[in-house]
């Protein structure tokens, strides 16, 4: 199959591209390579894909080709879809970060809403078989019922980042309904692991620890997060990509289900189902870095939710998959990568 992976130089997109090409698919990866964080890390991820493919048997591997491109560039996106004729699309390109969305809200509109509209149009006009896209656990907003269920209402986001992700789910449903385009949204729960972003907790904490600086610990470390390891996230994505969204024949407008539709549209959570307190997360990082952290305990920040906990029953039922990597194992892998990549000890 021929895949488009947007955000291919990103944390999740680079790993997904590597996995798809290694199993025999042809992947075109696009990314704007903006300076939201160090572009050298993005370039290193792209290089990692090429290096991984060198070790795959030539009769088994597919291919990976990178194009620098902005999702918000309407004409460029139209040309890309018309020329390449993708079978399936995974949209991971987005402006990320809850706190950054409070400071720079309009950047989220350009990427997460306008850019996604261009993806939908490209899929609609070029007979794409399945569009899968990244949503987020942030859409649960003010919900307090645990674990978070895809069948619950999610109409009360508390950051523009979350609102932009919810908007994507609604836009996708419209295209599934009007044009019978199969779409599946994946609500990721606190993804972590090697090659993550510098603005994410593990890299921020590790950098401060090695520089002997205090780390900011919000909500006094009492956050509970359903931390989900990168390899588990990617395995879930691959299985969903291979399982094209189908209409729900039992759906009714009298008792509407928030996770399915009479159109070929689905929503899934991908989370580890084992929430861990932030202080425990930090202690595990300290163990594998071999250094202690100075902690600056702070109150809950605007836009943050106190806890996340994923219900993944539908994911298990439909694609026979449940994330399983422990936080201890995942952070151990991260710590080794961090020390190797940044050459610290």
Could you identify the residue written with the tokens 């401060």? 208
Distances (CA, A) of 15 to 52, 207, 269: 10, 23, 19
- Residue 7, CB half-sphere, CA atoms under 13 Å: how many? 23
- The one-character DSSP state at 292 is P
- Residue 101, CB half-sphere, CA atoms under 13 Å: how many? 24
Phi, psi of 275 (to 5 degrees): -60, 140
Please list the helix, strand and coil fractions of the chain in percent, rounded to the nearest 5, in that order. Answer: 45, 15, 40
Note the Cα 158 to chain centre separation in Å.
19
161 is catalytic: yes
What is the per-residue burial (b if ≥16 Cβ within 10 Å, else e) of 189-206?
bbbbbbbbbeebbbbebb
Catalytic, out of 36, 100, 133, 161? 161
Q: Smallest Cα–Cα separation from 259: which of 310, 320, 323, 192?
A: 310
Instruction: Look at the chain and count its residues.
Output: 345
- Tell me how far apart the alpha carbons of residues 56 and 13 are, in angstroms, rounded to a whole number: 19
Q: Which residues are catalytic?
A: 161
């Amino acid at each position: 199959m021929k895949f488009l992976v947007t955000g291919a130089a990103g944390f999740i997109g680079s790993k997904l591209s590597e996995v798809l090409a290694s199993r025999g698919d042809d992947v075109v990866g696009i990314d704007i390579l903006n300076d939201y964080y160090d572009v050298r890390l993005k370039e290193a991820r792209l290089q990692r894909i090429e290096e991984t493919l060198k070790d795959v048997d030539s009769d088994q591997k597919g291919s990976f080709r990178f194009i620098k491109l902005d999702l918000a560039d309407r004409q460029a996106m139209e040309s890309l879809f018309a020329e390449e004729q993708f079978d399936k699309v995974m949209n991971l390109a987005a402006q990320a970060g809850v706190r950054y969305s409070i400071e720079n809200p309009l950047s989220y509109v350009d990427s997460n809403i306008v850019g996604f509209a261009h993806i939908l149009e490209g899929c609609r006009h070029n007979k794409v078989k399945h569009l899968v896209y990244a949503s987020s656990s942030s859409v649960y907003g003010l919900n307090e019922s645990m674990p978070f269920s895809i069948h619950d209402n999610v109409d009360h986001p508390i950051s523009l980042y979350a609102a932009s992700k919810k908007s994507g789910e609604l836009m996708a449903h419209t295209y599934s309904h009007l044009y019978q385009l199969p779409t599946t949204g994946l609500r990721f729960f606190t993804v972590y692991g090697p090659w993550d972003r510098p603005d994410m907790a593990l890299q921020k904490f590790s950098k401060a620890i090695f520089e002997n600086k205090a780390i900011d610990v919000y909500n006094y470390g009492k956050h509970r997060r359903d931390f989900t390891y990168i390899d588990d996230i990617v395995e879930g994505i691959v299985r969903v990509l291979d399982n094209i969204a189908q209409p729900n024949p039992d759906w009714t407008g009298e008792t509407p289900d928030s996770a399915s539709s009479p159109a070929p549209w689905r929503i899934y959570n991908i989370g580890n189902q084992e929430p861990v307190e932030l202080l425990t997360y930090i202690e595990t990082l300290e163990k594998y870095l071999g250094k202690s952290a100075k902690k600056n305990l702070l109150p809950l920040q605007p836009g943050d939710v106190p806890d996340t906990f994923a219900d993944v029953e539908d994911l298990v039922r439909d694609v026979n998959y449940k994330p399983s990597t422990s936080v201890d194992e995942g952070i151990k892998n991260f710590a080794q990568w961090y020390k190797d990549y940044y050459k610290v000890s």
